[in-house]
Structure 1
Amino acid sequence: MAAPETTNPYAAPSAINSPATGPSHLWQIDGIGLLVAHSAVLPKIDLESGSEDPSLVEVRRKFVKAHWSMGFMGLLAMMFQFIPKPLRSWDGHRFWISLIVFFGVWLGLYLLIHLTLSRRVRFTTYVQPAAEARRKRNRNIRGVIYSVSIAFMISPLVLLYSDQAALPDTNILLIIGVIGVIACVYWQYQTRPKIHMTLESNGWLRLGGVHSSAIRRLEAWREEHREAP
């Protein structure tokens, strides 16, 4: 990568290997889209509407690109049901020990992959207060529904291995859990933000769906704050 002092912040993205360091290099306009680097702080402009309303609130956004191996972690959790048959006759005490150890190891591997191999980009922008409050409220409600649904999906496994329920009873719990998860996914899809993010191979995070007025105001801000050569 070229040294920061020789990098042209107004060059096309293809001419920049990766985001340079320094306040003036952390974001740039690319056609009708916007490119941001990690720790970028955007001007006080709402990207969804182009508004410069003084009431806009500062928010920090995070994009995480999970490693491909994360997809196998969900399958790994299901391997608990393939424990050898003789071990399925454990009494409740030994069952809980095995359950805790298995999912403890699984959680450790999950966090290790997530924290070391996933790629993250964080940046600061500004949004309408009402929109941000609604987004947080919906996220919290979905979080509760999702957690309860996962509990319903896991409970059949626990009940069956501890001989506390019959298979038909556990199927009902599993169905309720699956419906809850599907409902959360659908709700999140329907309320997805207008701004969509794509992490490019050169390290830039591309923000699509930015309002045309926001693009014009960002360009004007860039010209007004252009650094002296």
Structure 2
Amino acid sequence: MKKDWKSPRSREQVTAQIPEEYQRRDAETQNRRELTFLLQEAAFSDHIPIYCAIDLTRLSDEERAMFDGFRFTPRGAVVLGQTIRDMFLYAEQDIPGNKGFRPVTAAQLIAENYLMEYREKLEIQGYQTEIIAPEAIPDPTLSAMLAASHKGYAGRNGRFLAGAYGCRVSAGIIVTDAPLMGGDYRFPDVDPADSPCRSCRKCIDACPAGALTGTSFVREKCVNYRNDPAHYSSPGTHTRLKCMACMTACPAE
């Protein structure tokens, strides 16, 4: 998922890696290609580090079931997100809004801006969308949906492990009825069997709240621990540095 901005690829190089089923010349397939390339080129132009399109029709039945329950029939999804080079991006701040202060991190806001911008690109063309935005705490459901891109793994810490960055990412997903080509043709798919989490327990052992069991995530334990003033520091009036042990302990890169 990491773009080498110094080595731009030609359309011919990208096209050469597109599966044969997406190279048909009928109107529907051509629309699928054009729409996907439009989003991809925009993401590359914006230097968005975490980007991938998913063709939901090509997923396994188990993966496809994760995208049930929306107000429309989903056909595609777009993964967008930000890398976390500095953990201060995960400092929680109180942002004023029309309903009072909202506690949110800079990493979340960056990812949310990407998601809203690309949601608009799809809706302008008449497609329906729904956003699933990231949180600072683990979200096993979202990480499993992101892993359906086959460009990363659903980590045992409840976070998405993007191939090039490990779990130091804040990524969300746009679910849409737009037909999209699946994949990010800069990089090969990953094999779930190669997950770095197979025999690793570092995040589980590091969690001070006992919210990680290895097979599940107890959200209430995590939230209660992080919101306890005894467990966070406040470098500013409206800023709090809360527990991110499950992320910082992860060795995956």
Q: Does the alignment reach a TM-score above 0.5?
A: no
Question: Which has the bigger relative contact order, CA under 8 A and spacing at least 6?
Answer: 1
TM-score (norm. length: structure 1): 0.25
Flag the structure with larger Rg.
1
